[in-house]
């Protein structure tokens, strides 16, 4: 290589990650944007780390925090806990190395700007250049943006099932590339360009692994898509859905053949308004005369724009759209039921069609008369339009005219011009039979059978069309190879120097027979073969003379013992792996054989070798039926960029991969995992150049480390390690950092954070020693909340696409078994009820359920009354604990807490916990401001920043607090001496940004928070009403008492009674109606009691 750099040295150079450079560029994303927040973040990360360690070990946490100033804007931070501690050998990795999952390491993994990315939004698939797509969200030079609330999904494979699924994207990433770009090319023509540190997936003897591009070599098996999941299919099309109100008004369209129900609907929805002698029907800003409406009803027609304006499209599906061209009436059917025929028409259009402002044209070959007749027939049957056929010397031209149809087709994604053509987006939402009809038509028009009839070749000058067609074929389980070439110049002089790039797709072997009857024996495809090195563990070395074999044959060689007994062995191992010792009377031979092979021991437990064999078999079985294929890398080429360019990446939580380019599976960046305590250590190192001091107590020894992070190689650097023997067996960890920062005592400060953390976790003991003040927070309770448990998805909120995938992937044998085993809160009786409502046979195999039946089942699940998700998947505080913590901290005159039942958003269980504390010390905390104090939490963690951008804040502001006796300016928090405590609990917190200080504004979340606050508000209103009533009674008693002397003397003169006696009796009467202190205390206690 140039300059004497070896390949190994280059690999090391690219593998190095400059963590320091990344930190400096992106510290604002990580919580270190200014000195005040940086010091706060250091303490927060260390405390959170300690609390998590204690709770996971089921130890009541005792946390000690010390912050002392040791120089100008320099602070020593020390955090100690009583957790389980760490073995000394784990300390360097735990505190000194950013693992592969952290953002520092992943951030440099990026894809070239022009790689095509299939994206699904609102159940519509788009094929976008990844650079152009991400630039719409990140306008600045570099950055990361959270898009969890945008509904963006990409294709990714599930590591558990090896099936491809549409998965939500959490983050988009963009940065300047400062390393070499590589182009990886495989057999069948797949190519992708990525940075050297970006990981692609390869198949090895150990399984599917992510490997950096710089480490790839020719001959490796790259992972790519073999088949793709279909989108939710539509069953019909209403053309009116694609025509705007303005368009219909401009062209004066009518709809004829409408039902009378539409006129009744208008009358029912409208208000009657009289203007003079005329009666009008008014809906919002729309008015129509009653006599004109009767006339339209009598004629059975209506203005098309009125239907669109009033949203009455469903009432005119059987109607026809009427327009006139030079006096000729043109009728266009609105409802399209024959999607297969529509697919046929669109396929021929993409191959041979064009559109101008008034006409749709098809230019067929002179020998394609039968196709012309079929197109004419289908256009007439589907749209009701007349088609003219004109034979010319070299072609047959078909034409039909309808401005409305042209407008609708363009809205569906139909374009004109050879280089601009693409597959209409609506095709991807067609059912499979209609998609196959489109594919066949397109191939008949624009493809040809090779001379040896070995493959079908499709050629196009549109790159986007080629990529889209490749993905459409994959959705129909048809694989196509890919190539590109430059076309030669034309015959005319002006075009001879022009060179245009063209693209070809090749369909081989068995996949040809899925489309056409090919009169030739077809062979299996490369993509349907698996490498034989995977079978080495099964004693099939002789099979290695074949490099790859068909999947069907491959499965036969995944065996233990003889082929005929393999299924029995696997069934037995399945039971033993679950600890089920089933009846083995008929399996003695199998047991003896497994013992002799060292797979099980004498106690019928799987040995370590047996566990490896069993997991290996399960993986290979999944590999055979997976949606993936494995292609040999043919070439790896370095791309020399003339200037630095932006490169891009995305984050797919839980899957950590996405499909890009022509179906290559890329590893992705991890978006919201955070950098935790290691980020704090790095911040200390970069700002003061001081090492972290870490002490761990383990097995009667005290280990003291001084540690730094090698920012170039992402490795821990141990400065010193001291060991001290102890007499007592202590446990816990302490960490000491010297950092640059600015300390504040109030507001968004360290003391505030610790106090709020204690409020939401009242089992904590926190001792704080600050630069100015200190305090100790004693635990209110000595009981940890239960550990959250993993649960199955709840039926409410599960999306239809996910439901269909679950049907396909389940191991259940019946629909009833599928519903009861795959979802929480669905019993066998409830499952039968769902099947009955959906009119689906409960004993039917889930894999045989049609799309229509799946939709009915999904709809029935949402209507059946089900219990809320189980609470053991979350970890709420008991209401009493929260009330006691608030009482101790704020000493309010009134406090109440409400915990809502669990519910779901997007299939994720969540729970809302709120509390209100009124009066007491709250007024002191408000610092002469009347606005209530809002305390926001997510999974018991305080959220101190970005309050105005948080869904919790929006929910609180939307509550009408005036209904509960409080004043409230419009669109803001109430004004009262009030603490509003809101804790959002979920297995997946929808944070809005990397800082994790605000949650997204999902409607379900807003609704639950408001309901909880409204219930608490009603309790507060009862208390305030009683308090006001008591004050009124006391005021009245005081007035009477003030005049009691004069009144007593007057009564004494009239009655002759003693003045003192009269005064005593009058005071007794006054005090009968007085609001006594004892009664006030009693009412307080009654209201505080949480029902």
pLDDT in tens, 280-309: 888 877 888 888 888 888 888 888 888 888
pLDDT at 178 over 50: yes
Q: Specify whether the CB–CB gap between 936 and 985 falls below 8 A.
A: no
Nearest to 188 by CA among 526, 547, 530: 526
Nearest-angstrom CA–CA distance, 69 and 772 = 10
Q: What value does the mean pLDDT take over residues 1054-1060? A: 79
Q: What value does the mean pLDDT take over residues 247-251? A: 88
Q: Is the dihedral of CA 144, 150, 154, 157 positive or negative?
A: positive
Q: What is the per-residue DSSP string for 1035-1059?
A: HHHHHHHHTHHHHHHHHHHHH---H
pLDDT at 794 over 50: yes
Q: pLDDT for 975-1010, tens place per residue?
A: 999 999 999 988 778 776 556 778 877 788 999 999
Q: Which residue has the tokens 């004066």?
A: 252
At a CB cut-off of 8 Å and minimum separation 6, what does 824 contact? 791, 792, 793, 794, 869, 870
Quick one: pLDDT band at residue 924, thresholds 50, 70, 90? confident
Quick one: pLDDT band at residue 1066, thresholds 50, 70, 90? confident
Domain locations along the chain: 31-98+675-777, 104-226+627-667, 237-331, 337-513, 559-624, 800-863, 869-1091
pLDDT at 562 over 60: no
Nearest to 753 by CA among 6, 11, 63, 3: 63
Beta bridge partners of 638: 182
Residue 103: what pLDDT? 38
Q: pLDDT for 314-344, tens place per residue?
A: 888 888 998 887 778 889 999 999 999 999 9
pLDDT at 683 over 50: yes
**Helix (H) / strand (E) containing 309:** helix 304-310
Of residues 839 and 571, more confidently modeled: 839
Nearest to 394 by CA among 436, 365, 360, 437: 365
Which of 542-556, 667-681, 729-743, 885-899 bottoms out in mean pLDDT, i.e. has the lowest?
Answer: 667-681
pLDDT at 142 over 80: no
The CATH number of the domain covering residues in 104-226+627-667? 2.170.16.10
Nearest-angstrom CA–CA distance, 152 and 656 = 15
Residue 799: what pLDDT? 63
Question: Percent of the chain, pLDDT > 70?
Answer: 83
Of residues 196 and 1087, more confidently modeled: 196
Q: What value does the mean pLDDT take over residues 593-597? A: 75
Q: What value does the mean pLDDT take over residues 538-555? A: 76
Q: pLDDT for 456-494, tens place per residue?
A: 999 998 899 999 999 999 999 999 999 988 876 554 444
CA angle 965, 969, 973 (to 5 degrees): 75
Q: Specify whether the CB–CB gap between 1035 and 1042 falls below 8 A.
A: no
* 104-226+627-667 and 337-513: identical CATH topology: no
Q: What value does the mean pLDDT take over residues 823-832? A: 86
Nearest-angstrom CA–CA distance, 687 and 684 = 5
Joined together, the tokens standing for residue 315 give 């009432």
Nearest to 729 by CA among 703, 700, 696, 702: 700
- Distance linking the first and last C-alpha atoms of the chain: 77
**Helix (H) / strand (E) containing 1061:** helix 1059-1072
Residue 996: what pLDDT? 73
What single-letter DSSP state applies at residue 162? -
Residue 994: what pLDDT? 52
Residue 451: what pLDDT? 62
At a CB cut-off of 8 Å and minimum separation 6, what does 67 contact? 39, 43, 75, 76, 77, 78, 743, 750, 769, 770, 771
What single-letter DSSP state applies at residue 1089? S
Q: Specify whether the CB–CB gap between 917 and 1088 falls below 8 A.
A: no
Residue 588: what pLDDT? 66
**Helix (H) / strand (E) containing 345:** helix 339-352
pLDDT at 661 over 70: yes
Q: Specify whether the CB–CB gap between 222 and 633 falls below 8 A.
A: yes
Q: pLDDT for 347-399, tens place per residue?
A: 999 999 999 888 999 999 888 999 999 999 999 999 999 999 999 888 999 99
Residue 509: what pLDDT? 80
Quick one: pLDDT band at residue 184, thresholds 50, 70, 90? very high
pLDDT at 670 over 50: no
Count of positions (residues) in the chain: 1091
The CATH number of the domain covering residues in 337-513? 3.10.28.10
Phi, psi of 77 (to 5 degrees): -110, 130
Domain 800-863, classified CATH 3.30.470.10, yes or no:
no
Of residues 4 and 895, more confidently modeled: 895
Of residues 723 and 23, more confidently modeled: 723
Q: What value does the mean pLDDT take over residues 503-523? A: 79
What single-letter DSSP state applies at residue 999? B
The CATH number of the domain covering residues in 869-1091? 3.30.230.10
Q: pLDDT for 615-657, tens place per residue?
A: 788 888 889 999 999 999 999 998 877 677 888 998 887 677 8
pLDDT at 85 over 50: yes
Q: pLDDT for 860-908, tens place per residue?
A: 888 888 776 665 666 677 888 889 989 988 899 999 999 988 887 766 7
CA distances from 201 to 198, 417, 638 (A): 10, 38, 19
Which of 41-45, 494-498, 614-618 bottoms out in mean pLDDT, i.e. has the lowest?
Answer: 494-498
Residue 876: what pLDDT? 76
Nearest-angstrom CA–CA distance, 758 and 53 = 16
How much is the mean pLDDT over the chain? 82
Q: Specify whether the CB–CB gap between 525 and 481 falls below 8 A.
A: no
pLDDT at 99 over 50: no
Residue 788: what pLDDT? 63
Nearest-angstrom CA–CA distance, 138 and 108 = 17
Quick one: pLDDT band at residue 540, thresholds 50, 70, 90? low
Nearest-angstrom CA–CA distance, 728 and 476 = 68
Question: Percent of the chain, pLDDT > 90?
Answer: 33
What single-letter DSSP state applies at residue 240? G
Nearest to 764 by CA among 12, 63, 50: 63
Q: pLDDT for 195-207, tens place per residue?
A: 887 889 999 877 8
pLDDT at 662 over 60: yes
Radius of gyration from C-alpha coordinates of the chain? 37
Domain 31-98+675-777, classified CATH 1.10.275.10, yes or no:
no
Angle of helix 432-446 relative to helix 339-352, nearest 10 degrees?
A: 20
Q: What value does the mean pLDDT take over residues 540-563? A: 74
């Amino acid at each position: 290589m140039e300059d004497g750099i070896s390949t190994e040295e280059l690999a090391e150079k690219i593998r190095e990650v400059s963590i320091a450079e990344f930190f400096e560029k992106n510290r604002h994303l990580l919580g270190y944007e200014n000195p005040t927040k940086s010091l706060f973040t250091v303490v927060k990360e260390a405390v959170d780390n300690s609390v998590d360690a204690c709770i996971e070990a089921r130890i009541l946490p005792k946390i000690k925090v010390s912050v002392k100033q040791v120089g100008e804007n320099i602070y020593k931070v020390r955090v100690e806990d009583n957790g389980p501690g760490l073995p000394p050998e784990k300390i360097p990795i735990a505190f000194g190395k950013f693992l592969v999952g952290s953002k520092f390491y992943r951030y440099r993994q990026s894809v070239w700007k022009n790689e095509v990315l299939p994206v699904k939004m609102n159940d519509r698939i788009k094929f976008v250049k990844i650079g152009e797509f991400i630039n719409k969200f990140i306008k600045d030079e570099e950055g990361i943006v959270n898009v969890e609330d945008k509904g963006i999904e990409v294709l990714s494979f599930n590591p558990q099932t090896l099936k491809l699924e549409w998965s939500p994207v959490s983050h988009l990433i963009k940065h300047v590339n400062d390393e070499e770009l590589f182009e990886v090319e495989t057999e069948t023509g797949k190519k992708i360009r990525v940075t050297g540190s970006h990981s692609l997936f390869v198949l090895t003897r150990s399984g599917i692994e992510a490997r950096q591009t710089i480490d790839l070599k020719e001959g490796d098996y790259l992972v790519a898509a073999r088949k793709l999941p279909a989108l939710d299919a539509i069953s019909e099309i209403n053309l009116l859905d694609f025509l705007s109100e303005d368009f219909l008004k401009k062209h004066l369209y009518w709809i004829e053949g409408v039902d009378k129900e539409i006129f009744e609907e208008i009358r029912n929805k409208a208000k009657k308004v009289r203007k003079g002698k005329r009666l009008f029907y008014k809906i919002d800003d729309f008015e129509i005369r009653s006599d004109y409406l009767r006339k339209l009803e009598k004629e059975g027609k209506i203005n098309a724009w009125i239907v669109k304006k009033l949203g009455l499209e469903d009432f005119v599906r059987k109607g026809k759209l009427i327009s006139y061209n030079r006096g000729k009436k043109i009728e266009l059917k609105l409802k399209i039921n024959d999607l297969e025929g529509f697919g046929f028409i669109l396929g021929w259009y993409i191959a041979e069609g064009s559109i101008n402002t008034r006409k749709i044209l098809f230019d067929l070959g002179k020998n394609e008369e039968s196709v012309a007749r079929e197109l004419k027939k289908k256009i007439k049957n589907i749209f009701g339009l007349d088609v003219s056929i004109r034979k010319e010397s070299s072609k047959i031209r078909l034409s039909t005219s309808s401005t409305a149809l042209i407008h609708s087709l363009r809205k569906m994604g139909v374009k004109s011009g050879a280089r601009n053509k693409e597959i209409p987006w609506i095709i991807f939402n067609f059912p499979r039979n209609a998609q196959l009809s489109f594919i066949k038509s397109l191939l008949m028009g624009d493809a040809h059978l090779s001379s040896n009839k070995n493959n079908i070749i499709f050629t196009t000058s549109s790159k986007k069309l080629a990529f889209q067609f490749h993905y459409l074929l994959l959705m129909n389980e048809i694989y196509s190879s890919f190539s590109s070439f430059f076309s030669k110049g034309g015959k005319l002089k002006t075009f001879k120097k022009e060179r245009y790039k063209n693209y070809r797709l090749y369909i081989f072997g068995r996949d040809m027979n899925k489309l056409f009857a090919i009169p030739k024996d077809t062979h299996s495809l490369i993509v349907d073969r698996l490498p034989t090195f995977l079978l080495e563990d099964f004693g099939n070395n002789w099979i290695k003379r074949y490099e790859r074999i068909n999947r069907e044959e491959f499965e036969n060689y995944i065996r233990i013992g003889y082929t005929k007994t393999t299924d029995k062995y696997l069934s037995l191992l399945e039971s033993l792996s679950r600890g089920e010792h089933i009846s083995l009377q008929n399996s003695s031979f199998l047991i003896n054989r497994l013992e002799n092979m060292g797979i099980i021991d004498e106690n019928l437990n799987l040995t370590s070798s047996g566990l490896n064999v069993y997991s290996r078999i399960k993986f290979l079985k999944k590999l055979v039926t997976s949606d993936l294929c494995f292609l040999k890398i043919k070439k790896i080429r370095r791309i020399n960029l003339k200037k630095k360019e932006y490169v891009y990446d995305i984050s797919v939580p839980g899957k950590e991969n996405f499909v890009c380019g022509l179906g290559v599976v890329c590893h992705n960046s991890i978006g919201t995992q955070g950098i935790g305590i290691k980020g704090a250590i790095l911040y200390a190192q970069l700002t003061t150049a001081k090492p972290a001091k870490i002490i761990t107590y383990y097995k009667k020894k005290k280990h003291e480390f001084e540690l730094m992070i090698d920012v170039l190689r992402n490795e821990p650097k141990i400065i010193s390690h001291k060991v001290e023997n102890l007499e007592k067996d202590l446990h816990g960890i302490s960490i000491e950092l010297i950092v640059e920062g600015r300390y504040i005592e109030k507001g968004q400060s360290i003391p505030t954070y610790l106090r709020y953390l204690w409020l939401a976790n009242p089992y904590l003991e926190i001792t704080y020693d600050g630069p100015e003040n200190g305090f100790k927070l004693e635990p209110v309770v000595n009981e940890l909340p239960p550990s959250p448990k993993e649960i199955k998805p709840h039926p409410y909120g599960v999306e239809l696409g996910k439901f269909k995938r679950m049907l396909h992937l389940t191991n259940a044998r019946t629909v009833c078994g599928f519903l009861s085993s795959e979802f929480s809160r669905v019993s066998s009786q409830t499952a039968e009820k769902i099947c009955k409502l959906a009119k689906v046979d409960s004993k039917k195999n889930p894999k045989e359920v049609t799309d229509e039946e799946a939709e009915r089942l999904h709809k029935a699940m949402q209507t059946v009354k089900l219990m809320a998700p189980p609470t053991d998947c979350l970890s709420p505080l008991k209401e009493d604990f929260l009330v006691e913590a608030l009482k101790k901290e704020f000493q309010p005159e009134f406090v109440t807490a409400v915990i809502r039942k669990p519910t779901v958003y997007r299939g994720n269980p969540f729970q809302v916990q709120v509390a209100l504390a009124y009066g007491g010390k709250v007024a002191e905390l408000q610092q002469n401001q009347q606005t209530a104090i809002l305390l926001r939490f997510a999974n018991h963690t305080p959220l101190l920043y970005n309050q105005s951008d948080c869904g919790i804040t929006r929910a609180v502001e939307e509550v009408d607090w005036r209904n509960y006796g409080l004043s409230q300016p419009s669109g803001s928090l109430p004004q009262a001496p009030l603490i509003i405590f809101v804790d959002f609990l979920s297995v997946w917190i929808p944070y809005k940004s990397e800082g994790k200080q605000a949650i997204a504004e999902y409607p379900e979340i807003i609704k639950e928070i408001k309901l909880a606050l409204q219930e608490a508000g009603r309790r507060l209103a009862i208390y305030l009403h009683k308090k006001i009533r008591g004050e009124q009674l006391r005021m009245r008693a005081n007035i009477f008492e003030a005049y009691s002397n004069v009144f007593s003397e007057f009564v004494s003169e009239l009655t002759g009674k003693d003045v003192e006696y009269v005064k005593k009796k009058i005071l007794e009467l006054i005090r009968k109606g007085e609001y006594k202190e004892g009664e006030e205390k009693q009412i307080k206690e009654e209201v505080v009691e949480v029902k």
